[in-house]
Amino acid sequence: MAKATSTLDWCVVRLGEDHNWWVAETSDPVRWDVDGLSIVDPRQVDHLIELVDPLRDYGFDQDVFEAAFIPFRIEKDLGKGMVRLKRVKDSLFESEETLFALADVLDEENGPYADLLDHLTRCRVKMLNNLIDFESKLTVDEVEDEIRESQNADFIEGIAIHTFNELNTILDFMPAGYESDDDAPAKDLDDEDEDLPDLDEEEEEKLKNDQSLKWDEEDAEEEDDEKKKPDGDEDEDGDDDEDESPKRRKKK
């Protein structure tokens, strides 16, 4: 028996104001209601694959993840933030193509995407219980109740829940009072420099002319001036010059 999604050959997606992609049209409008139907973009797919990797030690099944999504590749840029996507049979984990992923939500309660949500929640709970010494073991019901409460609040406010955000909420879940991944200490600047992408000549030229970066040069000049001062040279009030240059901050 063919899958219920076999007639979904293409879809048109639009970039929303929230910088997420949403489905605007499908080849199967009878079964696929595009109202509030989101789709995961290639960048988000890569991020999710990165997040589920640690769960492999706690029972994560890649096949459950693959079954929950319908992969698409870009077929044509329609302009004005609209793109036409063509369905493919590639694996989200192994394909070398840039793929979008549409959650199979035709059966919201018992379909493959619902199975994935349950599977990821159980894996996350198992991992947290292994890594954190809770007073009492964290349960799947507790996690689901907390997530559902947050989603209900968004629903009341008329906020559509994007697939990426829904999955991220599970994969980043941390009980109140415990440190989340976002609260972890920032990496050393030396380590972060290794992660910076290579810039082409045009981008480098823009950075050179960026006034917000001029303070680096000013700092160097001030340091040279300090070295040239004779020992004991002080300001009129008797205090040594204090470095008032802005502190280095990690770019967001």
| pLDDT, tens digit (0-9, with 9 covering 90-100), for 167-179 | 999 999 998 877 6
More confident residue, 80 or 185: 80
pLDDT at 208 over 70: no
Asked if residue 213 and residue 108 are part of one domain, the reply reads: no
SS3 10: strand
- On average, the pLDDT of the chain sits at 79
Let me know whether 91 and 211 are in one domain. Answer: no
89 and 132 fall within a common domain:
yes
So what's the pLDDT on residue 124?
97
Whether residue 114 sits in one domain with residue 204 = no
Shared-domain flag, residues 114 and 217: no
Q: Of the ranges 8-12, 23-27, 185-189, 231-235, which one carries the lowest mean pLDDT score? A: 185-189
Angle subtended at Cα 49 by Cα 39 and Cα 75, rounded to the nearest 5 degrees: 40
Do 152 and 212 have their domain in common?
A: no
pTM: 0.68
Domain count, the chain: 2
Same-domain status, 73 and 162: yes
Same domain, 207 and 168: no
State both tokens at 195. Answer: 């992660």
Give the number of other Cβ atoms within 10 Å of residue 248's Cβ: 10
* 236, part of any domain: no
Q: What was the pLDDT predicted at 168?
A: 96
Residue 157 lies in a domain: yes
What is the average per-residue pLDDT within 26-30?
95
- In this structure, are 25 and 93 located in the same domain? yes
Q: What residue numbers bound the domain in which 59 lies? A: 10-183
Mean pLDDT of 149-177: 89
pLDDT bucket at 144, cuts 50 / 70 / 90: very high
